[in-house]
Copies of this chain bind each other. A is one copy, B any other.
Amino acid sequence: MRRTVRLRDVAAAAGVDASVVSRVLSGDARLSIRPETRERVLEAATRLDYRPNTAARTLKTARTMAIGMIVPDLANVNYATIAQGAEEAAGTAGYTLLVAHGSAADRLPDLHGRIDGLLIGMATSETPRHGEFGGGVPALLVNRREPCGIPSVTVDDEAGGTLATQYLISLGHRRIAHVAGPQNADTARRRLRGYASALATAGVELGPEWVAESSFDEAGGHAAAGRLLRLEPRPTALFVANVRAAIGAMAAARRLGLRIPEDVSIVGFHDAPFAAFLDPPLTTVRMPLAEMGRQAADNLLALLRREPIEDLMVAIPPELVVRGSATAPAR
């Protein structure tokens, strides 16, 4: 069992001082060194398979070179996509992305000292108070904007809501109901706003009973859609603010004996690998989540450099993925 290789071991092997090795390996620009010396150092480092001690380096520099991301639900495809983008951007900047599962309040203590900054994905049920996460590392909210003093990166949920609704309108629908997300989440509120503004633009007037609030999951979508589909006159189309809720909505429609899309069209929000294999395949709105992750990481890194940060909305527009769950209304 060989002892772990230290900087000084490399230095000894190369016949130089440890500080020289340090400067060579960290690519210090302001270092002038004889090419052959550098060569010897590099050779010794690779030969001995030197790996810098992270703790020592962190202790000295006061930087971990890692950023954390807290996700409320590890199994959520959306967070996975966001994380992938974030990891890419972090990696490019030489940082590692560490993911933890839970709420920021719960996991922050665990992460303390292991990360330089934090990307916070919040559960839709959380409503943070102002300044709640101030104590500790620089933080950035991902996919949610909250008045808690933390800057955010989001996507254009309103445009997504408008896109979905406009599509249904263009198909000829007028009685379009909305399975809205939990209204304490601003993403859900913005999607609702997009829905409402698309209707307004088209001159369609619908009362508040055409919107049913739901959690972002199957059971919620099932319940909310069940209520909506009992309205008289019945909606010919549903815009559902989430893929998982959309699955629940489809189940609710079937349970009422309604065919999709003949009797009721359904458009979802966000995409998932299984959406194309549902019966019928789900038409949905795809948001630039990976890009949001990338920009979130970039912005967090800027924050670490103490650059001024604003709330940011990813400029890439949402995309309509047309599959089989929406068609023109029967007449």
Residues of A within 8 A of B (CB): 51-56, 58-59, 64, 66, 73-77, 79-81, 83-84, 87, 91, 96-101, 110-114, 217-218, 222, 244, 247-248, 250-251, 254, 273-274, 276-279
Among B51, B76, B248, B273, which residue has its beta carbon within 8 angstroms of that of A113?
B51
Cα distance A118–B251 when bound, in Å? 41
**Contact indicator A99/B101 (Cβ below 8 Å):** yes
Q: DSSP class of A's interface residues: helix, strand, loop or mixed?
A: helix
Q: Are A244 and B274 in contact (CB under 8 A)?
A: yes
Across the A-B interface, give the 6 residue pairs with the lowest CB-CB distance, nearest first.
Answer: A54-B113, A75-B80, A55-B58, A74-B80, A99-B99, A96-B110
Q: Which residues of B contact A274 (CB under 8 A)?
A: 218, 244, 247, 274
Could you name 10 residue pairs across A and B whose Cβ atoms are closer than 8 Å? Answer: A51-B113, A54-B58, A75-B81, A84-B101, A98-B98, A217-B273, A218-B274, A247-B277, A248-B277, A251-B277
Provide the bound-state CA to CA distance between A66 and B64, in Å: 14
Complex CA–CA separation, A251 to B280 (angstroms): 9
Q: Roughly how many angstroms separate A274 CA and B55 CA in the complex, as a whole number?
A: 43
**Contacts A114-B114, A218-B276, A248-B277 known; 12 new A-B pairs at CB < 8 A:** A52-B113, A54-B58, A54-B113, A55-B64, A55-B113, A56-B59, A73-B80, A75-B80, A75-B81, A99-B100, A218-B273, A250-B279
